[in-house]
Amino acid sequence: MVECHSRRRSQLWNPWACSLITLATTLLGFGILLIMGQSFMTRQLDSKGCQMSYMRPAFARFSDFDTEHTRFASKYSLYIYREGGIDEDIRVKGVPVLFIPGNAGSYKQVRPLAAEAAYHYHNVLQHDVGASRAGKRPLDFFSVDFNEDITAFHGQTLLDQAEYLNDAISFILSLYHTPSRSLRDSDLPDPSSVIIVGHSMGGIVARTMLTMPNYQSNSINTIITLSAPHARPPVSFDGDIVRTYKRVNDYWRHAYSQKWAIDNPLWHVTLISIAGGGLDTVVPSDYASLASLVPETHGFTVFTTSIPNVWTGMDHLAITWCDQIRKSIVRALYDVINVSRPTQTLPRAERMRGFKRWFLTGLEDVAEKTLPHKEPKTLLTLEGNSNAIISQGERLVLRSLGRSRKKPKAYLLPVPPQGTPEGRKFTLLTNEKLDAPGEHGKLEVLFCSVFPLQAGQSAMLFSMNMDLSGDSTGSTRLACKNAASDAIILPASTRHSTQPFKMDEQPFSYLQYDLEDLAEHQFVAVVDKAGEHSTGWVIAEFSAASKSVVRVNMGLQRLLTTGLSFRLPARRPMVMDIKIPALHSSLLAYNLHIGKQACDMGELFAPLLRQYITDVYESKFFVNVKDANINLHGVAPYMPPPFLAKSSGNGLSLQIWSDPTCDSTMEVSLRVDLLGSLGKLWMRYRIVFAAFPLLVVALVLRQQFRVYDETAIFMSFAEGLNECLRSSLPFSFAALTFLSISLAGARHQTSKSAQHWLFYGGNGNATDPFNYTNNELLLGSGDSFFWFLVPLFGLMCVGICVAVNYVTLGLTYLFTVIYSAVRSSSLRNDDGRRTPTAFAVTSTRQRVITTCVLLSLVSTVIPYHFAYMVLCIVQIATCVRGYTLARDSHLDANYNFYNYAHSVLILMIWILPINLPVLVVWIRNLAVHWLTPFSSHHNILSIMPFILLVETLSTGRMIPRVQSRFRLFTSLLLFSIAGYAAIYGVTYAYLLHHLANILCAWLVLIHFDVSSLSIQKLSNMLETMDPDGSIKKRP
C-alpha cells in the first residue's frame, strides 16, 4: 500500500508525465494544425498577376515644418514627391494628395502612384484642352516619414500620427497660399481640402484624423485606402488600439446615422476601400469591408480582382506598387478633381459616380447607365430594304465583321414592348472595342427611335450623321444614342486564354441593359464599320430573366454532403446567372467544374465565369474556364453586421458567358473543398491561438491547486493536463460548443428583429438601438453550422500547450545542466567550504528596495511590458534553481515548489505575446530617440502583482495550502479566466494580462496568508533580518 502511494506521488510530481490520451490529443491536434498550414500555403491560392512599376523618384523634405507647427516635428517628417525628368520643380502647382504609409511602412511607398500621376498628366491630360477646361491639373503628392512606426499594435502611436497629419494638412494648404511656393494660376481658388490615400493602417489613421480635436473642418473629403482593416483591429493585444477603433468606428456610424445632412460632419466625405483578396496574408481582406461603417451613398469596398483591366489579387505590399492598380487609382483621382472648386474635387455624388465607373465591373446593380440621361446625337439614315432587321425574339450573331466591304452595314434588333412579365434585358458581347461618336473603328452600337422630322433639320440637331441609304430615295431616319460610354470591359476568353490579367488579347466589350432603360427606344442598331474582313464577332439578344437566372435553394448541409450538379439547357441565353444564397461564408472554399460543350460551327469564345458577391464588391473572373477554385470574402467571423441592419446579400453568385450558337448543353458541378477550406481558418482565427491556450492553462492550474489544497501534493503541469483531459477540458469544450450554437441562434433572431424594427419603426437617426458588437464572442460566427470549430480549435490548442510545456521543460533541463556545472565548479574552487544551496534569500529591506526601484521605473520611464519580460527571465531562473534543488534533494517540498514555479512560468509564457507588441513599439521609439513616455502603459498596478509573485518565488518560498473556504475563490477565479479567454479572448486579448495579474495578486495574498497574519508573525519576519542586511541561505 505504501509502495503504491509512493508510486502515485512520483507520478503526480513527474514533470514529463504523458498519458495515452494526452499523446493522442497532441498528435491529433498537430495533425490538424499541419493540414491547416499545408492548405493555407498550397491550396485555393489566387494567381499573382501584378506587373512591376518603374519610376525616377525625387523627394524634397519640408524642413520648415518644425516644432512651431507640430509637437512631433522631431519624430516625423513631411516630403513632396517629384518625378525625375518630368516635373522636378518642388513648388506646388495642382491638387494636393497626401499618402499615409501603414504599419512599419515607408514614405517612399508613394513612388508608384505619384510617378504614374506625373506621367499621365504629362503624356495625356496636359495636351487635352477639354481636360484643362474641366479643371484637371497635376496631382501634388505629399508623403509622411513615420520612421516606420508600428501602428497596428499601439493605439497611442496611431493617435499621434493622426494628430501630426492634421497639422501637416494645415501646413500643406498654407503652401498654396504662399506665392513664392506655388505655381497655380492666381485666378483659381486656394485649396481647402486634401485628398488622402492610405495604405494598411494608414487608412485607419486617415479616418481617425477626422475625429481629432485639431482636425480642420472639411479639410478632407476624399479618402482611398489600400488593404486597410477598417472593421476591426488586426490584433487586440493593446487596449488603446481596441478603444481607438471603437471610438472612431462609433463616430463614423453615428455621423452617417443622422437623418439630416446638416447634422452629419462627414456628409461630404467619400471613402473607398480597396482590398487585395486572398493573397493578402498580413491583414484579412474581410476587415477591409465598409459595410458596417458607411452607407453606399458615401463609400464602398472593392477587391482588386473586380477592377477593370486589373483582374488580379494582390498581397499586402504589392497593392502599393502594382502597375495595373496604380493606373486605375490615378485615373480615378484625375476623374474626380476640379481645381475650379475650393475643395479641389467634384461634389460627392459625382465623385461616387466616378469611383464606381473606375473601380466596379459595371455589372453591379448600383452601376449607373448613362444612356437614359443622354440626348440623341447621331442621325442614322437607312436604306429601306438593304439593312437587316432581326425578327422579334431572335438573336443577332455576326461571326465575322467586314463582310460588306463597300460601306458600313447596320443590323437592327427591335426593342420588345414594355411590361413583359418575365423581366427582359438586352445583352451584347463582342471581341471588338465599341466606337464612341466620331471614332472610326470596326463596330458601333446605337439605341434608336424613329425620327419623323425633315432631313433639312438634321444638321442642326445632330452632331453625327451616319447615312447608310446610298442613293436610295426610300429611306428611314433614326435618332440614336451611342452606347460606348456604358460598355463593360471583360477579360478575353478564348481557347488560348489562361489568366484574366494577361493582356495577350483585346478585352471583350459587353453591354447590358434592363428593358426599362430602353423605354424610349425602338431599335438597337449594331453597325458593322469594318472596311475589310476581320475576326471580330458580335452576339446580341434580348433574354428573359426566367431563363437567364437560376436560383439554387439548397441548404448548406446538403450542399456539403452531396454537392451541386445541374445541366444548363442547350437553348439558353448567352449569359446565365446562378445564385446560391446558402453559400455566403468566407470559411468555406469550393471546386467548380464546367463541362466542355460541343460546338459544330466552332466556338466564338470560350466559357467565361464571374464569381461575385454583393455584400462587398468582390468579383473574380475565370477565362477559358474548365475547373476553378471558388473562395470568397463573404460573411466572416467577428465582423460587425451591415450598416443600420441593412439586409445582407444573396450569397455566392456565378455568372457564366457561353457561346449560345453551339446549341449544346453544359454541365456545371460545385463541390466543397474540405482541405482547401481548412486553410481559410488561419487568416480568420490567428488570435485564437493566443487566447484558447489560456483556457487550457487556467483549467490545469485550477486542477493543480485543487489537488494541492486537498493532498499537499502540487502535481506537475503535465500530470495536471493529463487529468484535465479526462475531466474539465472535455466538459468545457462541450459547454462552449453549446454556447456557440445558442449564440448563433440568438444572433439570428436579433438580426431578424432589428431588420423588422428598422423597416417598420426605425427612423434612421443616431438613437436607433442597433448593436454592432454581436459577433465579438467566442469564435465570432453567427452560423450554427460551424459549431465543430470550438472542439477543433480546442484540440489544436491542447496540442500546442503540450508542446510549449515540453519545450519549456527541455530548456529548463538544459539550463539546469549548465547551472549545475557552473555551481559545481564554484564549490570546488571554494574547497568545499560552502554548503550546497539553490536559493539565496535577500533581506526583506533589500527586496523592498528592489521592488520599489522597478515600480518607479515602470511609472516613469519603461512600460510595464518591459518589466514583464524581465520577470519572465527571472521566473525561468527560479525554475532552473527549483529543478536543481528538487533533483538534488528528492524532498517532497522541493518537488512541490518546482511544479508550482513551472506552472506560473507556463502562464507567464502565454501572456508574453500580449505584451511583446507594445514592447517592440517602445524599443522602436528608443531607436529613433523619441523618449516621450507612453501615457497608457505606466500603470504600476498592471505589473505590481506579477513583480511581487515572481520576487516571492525567487526566494524559494512555496505557496501555503488553503484549507478554508477561500480555496473555492481560487477555483472560481481560474475558471473565470478560462471562460473569459474562450469567450472574449480573441476580441479583447489585452485584458487577459490583467486577469492573470488579478490571479497573481490573489496568489500573493495566499503567500502572505493575510487571513492569519498577526503581530507576532510580523515580528518574527522582521527578526529574521540581519542588522547589516546580509544574505541568508535557504537550504
pLDDT for the residue 827: 59
What does each C-alpha distance from 132 to 89, 126, 519 come to in angstroms?
A: 20, 7, 36
Alpha carbon distance 165, 146 (integer Å):
10
820 vs 444 pLDDT, higher one: 444
**pLDDT at residue 749 greater than cutoff 70:** no
Q: Out of 301-315, 744-758, 823-837, which region has the weakest mean confidence (pLDDT)?
A: 823-837
Q: pLDDT band for position 1024 (50/70/90)?
A: very low
Q: What is the mean pLDDT of residues 575-596?
A: 93
Residue 448 CB: number of other CB atoms within 10 A? 24
**pLDDT at residue 952 greater than cutoff 70:** yes
The two beta strands, 396-398 and 378-383, are: unpaired
**pLDDT at residue 379 greater than cutoff 50:** yes
Q: Which residue among 143, 200, 728, 740 is the active-site one?
A: 200
Alpha carbon distance 716, 703 (integer Å):
10
pLDDT for the residue 1015: 45
**pLDDT at residue 940 greater than cutoff 50:** yes
pLDDT for the residue 646: 57
What does each C-alpha distance from 643 to 297, 714, 922 come to in angstroms?
A: 12, 53, 36
Span 310-363, pLDDT tens digits: 999 999 999 999 999 999 999 999 999 999 999 999 999 999 999 999 999 999
pLDDT for the residue 745: 79
pLDDT for the residue 307: 97
Q: In degrees, to the nearest 5, what angle opens at C-alpha 914 toward C-alphas 908 and 920?
A: 110
Q: pLDDT band for position 758 (50/70/90)?
A: very low
Q: pLDDT band for position 267 (50/70/90)?
A: very high
Nearest alpha carbon to residue 555 among 651, 676, 668:
651
Q: What is the mean pLDDT of residues 375-392?
A: 79
5 vs 80 pLDDT, higher one: 80
pTM above 0.85, yes or no: yes
**pLDDT at residue 766 greater than cutoff 80:** no
Report the chain's mean pLDDT, rounded to a whole number: 87
**pLDDT at residue 1 greater than cutoff 60:** no
In percent, the amount of the chain with pLDDT more than 70 equals 89
Span 810-830, pLDDT tens digits: 999 999 988 888 877 765 665
Q: Out of 166-180, 512-526, 607-621, 740-754, which region has the weakest mean confidence (pLDDT)?
A: 740-754
Q: What is the DSSP string of 308-371?
A: TTT--B--TTHHHH-HHHHHHHHHHHHHHB-TTSTTSB--HHHHHHHHHHHHS-S-STTPPPSG
What does each C-alpha distance from 901 to 329, 346, 570, 647, 701 come to in angstroms?
A: 57, 66, 74, 53, 11
Q: What is the mean pLDDT of residues 680-687?
A: 93
**pLDDT at residue 246 greater than cutoff 50:** yes
Nearest alpha carbon to residue 170 among 217, 205, 203:
217
Q: pLDDT band for position 1030 (50/70/90)?
A: very low
Span 109-125, pLDDT tens digits: 999 999 999 999 999 99
Residue pair 835/1033 in contact by the 8 Å Cβ criterion: yes
Q: What is the DSSP letter of 181?
A: G
Alpha carbon distance 292, 641 (integer Å):
6
Domains present along the chain, CATH in parentheses: 2-39+686-749+787-1008 (no CATH), 57-359 (3.40.50.1820), 371-545 (no CATH), 552-674 (2.60.120)
Which three cell numbers mark 957? 518560498
Q: Within 13 A of 764's CA, how many CA atoms are on the CB side?
A: 10
pLDDT for the residue 275: 97
**pLDDT at residue 160 greater than cutoff 90:** yes
Q: What is the DSSP string of 715-762?
A: --HHHHHHHHTTTHHHHHHHHHHHHHHHHHHHHHHHHHHHHHHHHHT-
Cell 433574354 sits on residue: 543
> What are the backbone angles phi and psi of residue 710, rounded to the nearest 5°?
-90, -35
Q: What is the mean pLDDT of residues 245-263?
A: 94
> What are the backbone angles phi and psi of residue 972, rounded to the nearest 5°?
-65, -40
Return all residues near 848 (Cβ < 8 A) that are at least 6 apart: none
Alpha carbon distance 825, 177 (integer Å):
77
Sign of the torsion formed by the C-alpha atoms of 338, 341, 344 and 347: negative
Q: What is the mean pLDDT of residues 503-526?
A: 91
Q: pLDDT band for position 763 (50/70/90)?
A: very low
Span 184-210, pLDDT tens digits: 888 899 999 999 999 999 999 999 999
pLDDT for the residue 932: 65
For the chain, the farthest-separated pair of C-alpha atoms sits apart, in whole angstroms, at 129
Which three cell numbers mark 6? 509512493
Q: What is the DSSP letter of 48?
A: B
Span 909-919, pLDDT tens digits: 999 999 999 88
Active site residue 1019: no
Span 861-899, pLDDT tens digits: 888 889 999 999 999 999 999 999 888 888 888 999 999
730 vs 821 pLDDT, higher one: 730
Q: pLDDT band for position 79 (50/70/90)?
A: very high
**pLDDT at residue 108 greater than cutoff 50:** yes
